[in-house]
Structure 1
Amino acid sequence: MVSDASKKKAAAKKAAAAAKRGGKTSATTSKAAADVPNGAVVGKLADGVGSMRISDRTCTGVLASHPLSRDIHIESLSLTFHGHDLIVDSELELNYGRRYGLLGLNGCGKSTLLAAIGCRELPIPEHMDIYHLTQEIEASDMSALEAVINCDEERLRLEKEAEILAAEDGGGGEALDRIYERLEAIDASTAEKRAAEILYGLGFNKQMQAKKTSDFSGGWRMRIALARALFMNPTILLLDEPTNHLDLEACVWLEETLKKLDRILVVVSHSQDFLNGVCTNIIHMQSKMLKFYTGNYDQYVQTRAELEENQMKLYKWEQEQIASMKEYIARFGHGSAKLARQAQSKEKTLAKMERGGLTEKVVKDKVLVFRFVDVGKLPPPVLQFVGVTFGYTPENHIYKNLDFGVDLDSRVALVGPNGAGKSTLLKLMTGDLIPLDGMVRRHNHLRIAQFHQHLAEKLDLEMSALQYMMREYPGNEEERMRAAIGKFGLSGKAQVMPMKNLSDGQRSRVIFAWLAWRQPHMLLLDEPTNHLDIETIDSLAEALNEWDGGLVLVSHDFRLINQVAEEIWVCENQAVTKWEGDIMDFKEHLRSKAGLSE
């Protein structure tokens, strides 16, 4: 027999090893400090009851499913962050083999919930390993391929555990079967081949796979971390906006890969197209509850609309009944004996209805309305490339002899693999980069505003959105700045709290407010949808379609491109060529090119 003290010691060791591996945990009864972000653990996880506080996050829940089951059912789930309730007394159900899309408005707590699951603040059975992809892989001398294969330390640990269990009197039983199943899943004999295939799918050719991780940018190291997560093939995989650092080609590959995943996947994504391709179920965070739907994103939209329509009909009918009964009671409650008896009967019916629980009014998601100020017309040519050649070094050209024009009625999406020069082309348009040969002509009065991910790094997170806007645009009244931020869906407390307490999506809206105040004639948007929720993206698309300026868009979101772009330009092989067809034709072309077409 193994003593409780020995068991706890072993569990602590496993948790420490898991934390070292970078986010993958396999112990619930103890937790390594290395795995706890910004603080210590308070409380414990035992007997199927979870109660944990990590920094400013508190999470509680009770395991209702069998501890040896491959499914998870947690009741009485509550989650708070910085003292705000995000989930109150709800249920979480994650079934093996299902792929869940986690939806909800920006700031509702999707990422916080993933972090709580990933850090095992809930009573998740010990036999279920979790990988929560949170950050890029560490920069080191290890090659990209080695960084992925190095996860195989799990295989050595499992083989050792299997050896110990097999030597026991009972022969190991179910626990040994699970270890063998896991060893088969991580198939060590084909490790290098599988790791190389995953990296290739995410855009790493053979030369790149051999490069040191320290030679890659943060975005590419995030891809290596994603490759590692897929290679590890954990029981529970948690992905928060996994397509944010990918080009369209890698997005298509990832969608095809995840739709074959036979584990538990929970993914936060703003791409409806991606959710449709990957998900078997949808979890919607709304009104501090988790609501579950079967099917992909489109099926969720249809089911939710039907349920809400029926709920609204029932609500209206009940309210009419209540109003009618109350009116009768008020009129005849003190009348003749017969009428008074009928009034009392209606009072009892009303009380019974209220005890049984009345239908709640449908709570509609607050739809944001983005607005860009119309800027009038500038006569063409507004922005013209004449024989433009560019390279970061004279001998290594990214573009050769580019000739094209962009005007105020242009709606262009730039597509092409990462490294082909899409962001470089935008910088040539703004004048941040100068051609080696040829010229870029801009209209004298042209105002260009560019959205890119690095703008978020320039925000002073100790300041509020209102303070930031007043600092950036001095001399404006506070009310005008409040209205400017309000146009992009940030109101009330969110305008005056430090931006470090805002979600990434809310910070993106501050940037849009900052850009819009400049009243540009032309918007250059480089991955504008990262961290925005689906409803906000739809509002952005609507605002762009109603606006009278010019647009050049770089995005991995097929649906946004489909909504706003009238032309698709492919950046590849030192050229920019117009794609004959729409973005969904281009997606099918990418699937065929990668050998993924059915």
Structure 2
Amino acid sequence: MNGSSSSDNLSNGMGNLTISDRTCTGVLCSHPLSRDIRIESLSLTFHGHDLLLDTELELNYGRRYGLLGLNGCGKSTLLTSLGLRELPIPEQMDIFHLTREIEASDMSSLEAVMNCDEERLKLEEEAERLAGQDAGGGEALDRIYERLDAMDASTAEKRAAEILNGLGFNKQMQAKKTRDFSGGWRMRIALARALFMNPTVLLLDEPTNHLDLEACVWLEETLKKFERILVVVSHSQDFLNGVCTNIIHMQSRKLKMYTGNFDQYVQTRSELEENQMKQYKWEQDQIANMKEYIARFGHGSAKLARQAQSKEKTLAKMERGGLTEKVSRDKVLVFRFVDVGKLPPPVLQFVEVTFGYTPDTLIYKSIDFGVDLDSRVALVGPNGAGKSTLLKLMTGELVPLDGMVKRHNHLKIAQYHQHLAEKLDLEMSALLYMIREYPGNEEEKMRSAIGRFGLTGKAQVMPMKNLSDGQKSRVIFAWLAFRQPQMLLLDEPTNHLDIETIDSLAEALNEWDGGMVLVSHDFRLINQVAKEIWVCENQTITRWEGDIMGFKEHLRSKSGLYD
């Protein structure tokens, strides 16, 4: 089964398990029969590296938590520890942690979602067995029917179909075998299964990564109605704003809890940090003044010496009581693309282009448009409408069935897509990889090229298998940027990047003088960098007249899930 719902709770409310170089300890402080989880003295170690130290985690029933923190701080490791019950969690609380796509089998996607509900299946089998007995099952059968009613078992197929439909599966796709879907679509089936199970604790790590904008909007509208405990890691601020009632910030090996959605968290954190810095500065001024007084008058006249001693006691008392810490700021990365100068238009032109992977199933029919170095375009539209296909037509990886794609003779295009990570030799370091890819360049030049994308020091020379997914993404950006393209085609560049890194990427794109075509499910990134929105649908491309947030409202009204 996808996800985790084991129940290895240790006695005395203590958890202390080591699995795969991960150690997690904590003390359960909420009542074992409570619907809330409160764990004190929580510590989490991974490969001997402390991710959390003596902190507290509180998850209350009916709340939806966004888990935030910089790449590599341990968000996914914490979710895994919760999902595997390495932390003490009341036994009656079922947990589902979405970890991987559904297995490829002959089961249809609809069956795969429904068959995950083990309790319902067991009860239905038992009911059938009892009903077949001569005595008719009696009270035992009545109790099973009561439980099935409570689980809404009679509507199971309808609910499963609705969830799959919301995630982009039409009737034909719901009947298709799971083995006939790609990994991304099987991940959607796994997500549908998680939502269908409706567990007490639902743990989702980047659930929008394999979704188009339409499915993202549907998921946001669905999760904001989730009434149990949800913990979600997401790099989409927009999604966190729509879904979350609380934010947990993972920083400096502690968990800090905030009430409200992402925007409210930003405001509250900013106010708290401002007050903390004021208090810190006031205390430091007081300490400096007292120390100066003690140094000057500690050995003076009796009266001044007494005052100096009094200040020494005050100082010692302040230090014993605990001084305010200086605010530790997250280290913000700065990305930089090298400016490339101008090429006269037309730089990239589509003339009456028709394309399909077979002549019978066309994706585009007679499309005309041009992209220049001042173009900043976001492609939107449902999965399968041909957004990634259009990028491949731009690069020449695919050739039209009819019409032509004209490229300027000097145009250099670089395309970012998720499969580039498969190109990386994970046994090599980022530095050696860049030296191999671009021979003849000095080591210092390569270090600087990688450093431009926030990978510095040890991270440049350790094997890339030890880097987080976000750090690997930065190596790919460094590799692409070193080619100094005039046109960047970005296909889902935000997967595996944290919020701060996405903002750095947006800033770098806005400062760069080349052209850009973007495919992304991140509404906020599109809002930050795109000047035009093009909708790919029904074999054609049309320009959306409003901004991306207007397009989101349009999708929301289409979803039929408005409050």
Query: Do the two structures share a fold, i.e. TM-score over 0.5?
Result: yes
1:152 Cα deviation after fit = 2.5
2:316 to 351, 355, 362: 351
Q: Which amino acid aligns with 2:337?
A: F
1:509 aligns with 2:474: yes
Q: What is the distance in 2 between the residues matched to 1:500 and 1:180?
A: 52
2:2 touches 2:99 (CA, 8 Å); kept in 1?
Answer: no
1:541 to 475, 500, 506: 506
Please list the CA deviations of residues 446-484 of structure 1 after superposition, one character each: whole Å capped at 9, or x if unmatched.
000000000011111111111211111112122111111
1:462 touches 1:499 (CA, 8 Å); kept in 2?
Answer: yes
Residues 484/181 of structure 1: CA separation in 2 closer, same or farther (3 Å cut): farther
Aligned to 1:27: 7
Q: What is the distance in 2 between the residues matched to 1:158 and 1:260?
A: 27
1:254 aligns with 2:247: no
Q: What is the distance in 1 between the residues matched to 2:108 and 2:245?
A: 35
Q: What is the distance in 2 between the residues matched to 1:158 and 1:367?
A: 53
2:456 to 463, 479, 491: 491
1:158 Cα deviation after fit = 6.6
Q: What is the distance in 2 between the residues matched to 1:580 and 1:187?
A: 44
1:423 Cα deviation after fit = 0.2
What CA RMSD, in Å, does the superposition of the two structures yield over aligned residues?
A: 1.7
1:312 aligns with 2:292: no
Q: Which amino acid aligns with 2:25?
A: T
Aligned to 2:194: 229
Please list the CA deviations of residues 381-426 of structure 1 after superposition, one character each: whole Å capped at 9, or x if unmatched.
0000001000101121110101100000000000000000000000
Aligned to 1:427: 392
Aligned to 1:166: none
Residues 186/507 of structure 1: CA separation in 2 closer, same or farther (3 Å cut): farther
Residues 184/504 of structure 1: CA separation in 2 closer, same or farther (3 Å cut): farther
Aligned to 1:37: none
Aligned to 2:497: 532
1:199 touches 1:209 (CA, 8 Å); kept in 2?
Answer: yes
1:196 aligns with 2:161: yes
SS in 2 for 1:228: helix
Please list the CA deviations of residues 94-148 of structure 1 after superposition, one character each: whole Å capped at 9, or x if unmatched.
1111000000001111111111111111011111111110100000000000000
Q: What is the distance in 1 between the residues matched to 2:5 and 2:498?
A: 29
1:490 Cα deviation after fit = 1.1
1:270 Cα deviation after fit = 0.4
Aligned to 1:13: none
Q: What is the distance in 1 between the residues matched to 2:361 and 2:31?
A: 61
Q: Which amino acid aligns with 2:171?
A: K
Runs of 5+ consecutive residues of structure 2 not aligned to the other structure: 128-143
SS in 1 for 2:117: helix
Count of residues paired in the alignment: 548
Aligned to 1:66: 31
Q: What is the distance in 1 between the residues matched to 2:333 and 2:407?
A: 34
2:443 to 478, 487, 497: 478
Aligned to 1:302: 267
1:119 aligns with 2:84: yes
Q: Which amino acid aligns with 2:352?
A: G
Q: Which fold has the larger relative contact order, with Cα–Cα distance below 8 Å and residues 6 or more apart in sequence?
A: 2
Q: What is the distance in 2 between the residues matched to 1:324 and 1:409?
A: 57
1:185 touches 1:233 (CA, 8 Å); kept in 2?
Answer: no
1:275-424 mapped onto 2 (5 Å cutoff): 275-424=240-389
Q: What is the distance in 1 between the residues matched to 2:422 and 2:398?
A: 21
Aligned to 1:238: 203
1:596 Cα deviation after fit = 2.6
Of 496-505 and 513-522, more deviation after overlay is shown by 496-505
Q: What is the distance in 2 between the residues matched to 1:481 and 1:283?
A: 37
2:180 to 207, 212, 215: 215
2:447 touches 2:460 (CA, 8 Å); kept in 1?
Answer: yes
Q: What is the distance in 1 between the residues matched to 2:117 and 2:238?
A: 33
2:81 touches 2:87 (CA, 8 Å); kept in 1?
Answer: yes
SS in 2 for 1:224: helix
Q: What is the distance in 2 between the residues matched to 1:154 and 1:376?
A: 63
Work out the percentage of aligned pairs sharing the same amino acid: 86
Please list the CA deviations of residues 324-368 of structure 1 after superposition, one character each: whole Å capped at 9, or x if unmatched.
000001111111111111111000000000000000000111111
1:23 Cα deviation after fit = 2.2
SS in 2 for 1:343: helix
1:183 Cα deviation after fit = 5.7
